[in-house]
Homo-oligomer: A and B are copies of this chain.
Amino acid sequence: MMSRKDAAARLALTEPVEDYLKAIYELETRHGVAATSDVATALAVAPASVTGMIRRLAMHGYLDHVPYRGVQLTDDGRRAALRTIRRHRILESYLTSVLGYPWDRVHDEAERLEHAASDELIERLAVALGHPTQDPHGAPIPTVDGTVDERPHRTLADLAIGERARMVQVSDKNPQLLRYLAEIALQPGTAVTMIAKAPFGGPLTLRIGTADAMVGPSLAEQVRVEPVTDARTVPPRARKSTTG
């Protein structure tokens, strides 16, 4: 029998290890529990590989694992995952705000840099940005001590006709979607009004500023919104050009 304390040395936070913890964290916040096969899909590896890594992560106290039942992050695991996510989002913010990257191309770059950057670098970037609270896609940036505001949000598809809302977030992983949103000028902070919904899950018509845009239902499901509480649109943070 091998308890987590028998582990010879602390597990090094290698690139694969950080990627697993991040993926498990994201699945856990979305579905409450991370399934082996979902982790495998997220990381593009075989399910058997996930089982192997899960065993190592659990042995080192990052996960609680009940065989055949799924995994849960421990406090240690959650802390490690949030550290990686903070790095990722700060990097994305810096790349867009300071270096002029378009928002559809920052994900892959941040994905690689997040494993190589030191804590000092990340904090210098955060300072240069004025300690941003959201990344360019509207995702909240965890603090250094590991707290995040992961409120669930409604999607664009949930809006009733005539309802007004403000876009708050979109996944950073779909460049094509991001390019389309840039085209119709829909970004975090933008207010939208639902104009019309075609029946049977057909396209939706949105008013964005003074223009109308037609969007498919699958797109609408990927865009998160929140109610507009004040009269006028207020962007959640200062934003620079993301044209590249």
Interface assignment of A115: CB less than 8 Å from any CB of chain B: yes
Contact indicator A100/B113 (Cβ below 8 Å): no
Q: Which of A114-150 contact B (CB under 8 A)?
A: 115-118, 120-121, 124-125, 128
Mark A215-239 against chain B: 1 for CB-CB distance below 8 A, else 0.
Answer: 0000000000000000000000000
Contact indicator B99/A128 (Cβ below 8 Å): yes
Instruction: For the complex formed, measure the closest distance between the CB of A4 and the CB atoms of chain B, giving whole angstroms.
Output: 29
Specify how many copies of this chain sit in the oligomer: 2
Query: Which has the most chain B C-beta neighbours within 10 Å: A108, A120, A125, A128?
Result: A120
Give the residue of B109, B120, B121 whose beta carbon is less than 8 angstroms from that of A118. B109
Known: A101-B124, A113-B113. 19 other contacts (CB 8 A): A95-B121, A99-B121, A99-B124, A99-B125, A99-B128, A100-B124, A105-B120, A108-B118, A109-B117, A109-B118, A109-B120, A112-B116, A112-B117, A112-B118, A113-B116, A113-B117, A113-B121, A115-B116, A116-B116
